[in-house]
């Protein structure tokens, strides 16, 4: 593959716009602002220079996780395939840099985060109209949780990942 892979560090400039395609694939779009900082010799400090804006697209499970995790202003790292689209709008030449994300995460240099693993069930169990199986699995495992596996999410620790045997 000769695709241009990039990693961009910036801040979420818009909220995550969640949607599904006509074929039912989850997708999310948001804008990422990456501001260049330069050391100013005259003042002896760092100053903001210019800002690059990228449209970020995420698909499938990544889209769902981004929609549930990212808010405006949060510092992010985005990795993905760079596409630059050029077009003309009302006589003005425009350039739209887009990143098809393969990974999105919070920049922990600016704060902390608590990771929560998403339970994934085999597609054969994902039936239209069936209630949320993650909730059903958690309810089925509730007695085991009460009998010795502490729920540590409130304390900021990792919560144990329980995977049911679905045969």
Q: Where are the domains of the chain?
A: 5-113, 114-167
* Residue of 58, 56, 36, 57 lying closest to 47 (CA atoms): 36
pLDDT at 162: 45
pLDDT at 18: 94
Return d(Cα 67, Cα 58) in angstroms, integer: 9
**Residue 159 neighbours by CB under 8 Å, 6+ apart:** 116, 151, 152, 153
pLDDT at 121: 55
- Per run of 10 residues, the mean pLDDT along the chain (length 167 residues) is 89 94 93 93 90 95 94 96 93 93 94 83 46 49 44 40 46
Return d(Cα 166, Cα 156) in angstroms, integer: 29
Return d(Cα 51, Cα 162) in angstroms, integer: 43
pLDDT at 2: 78
Return d(Cα 54, Cα 104) in angstroms, integer: 13
Q: Which CATH class is domain 5-113?
A: mainly beta
DSSP letter assigned to residue 119 = P
């Amino acid at each position: 593959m000769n695709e241009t892979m990039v990693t961009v560090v910036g801040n979420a400039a818009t909220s995550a716009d969640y949607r599904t395609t006509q074929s039912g694939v989850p997708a999310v779009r948001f804008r990422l602002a990456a501001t260049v900082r330069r050391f100013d010799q005259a003042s002896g400090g760092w100053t903001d220079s210019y800002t690059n804006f990228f449209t970020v697209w995420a698909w499938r499970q990544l889209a769902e996780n981004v929609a549930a995790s990212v808010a405006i202003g949060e510092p992010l790292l985005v990795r993905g395939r760079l596409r630059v689209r050029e077009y003309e709008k009302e006589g003005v030449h425009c350039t739209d840099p887009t990143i098809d994300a393969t990974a999105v995460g919070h920049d922990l240099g600016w704060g902390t985060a608590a990771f929560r693993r998403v339970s994934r069930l085999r597609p054969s169990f994902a039936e239209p109209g069936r209630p949320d199986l993650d909730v059903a699995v958690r309810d089925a495992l509730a007695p085991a949780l009460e009998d010795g596996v502490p729920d540590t999410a409130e304390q900021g620790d990792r919560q144990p990942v329980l995977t049911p045997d679905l045969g």
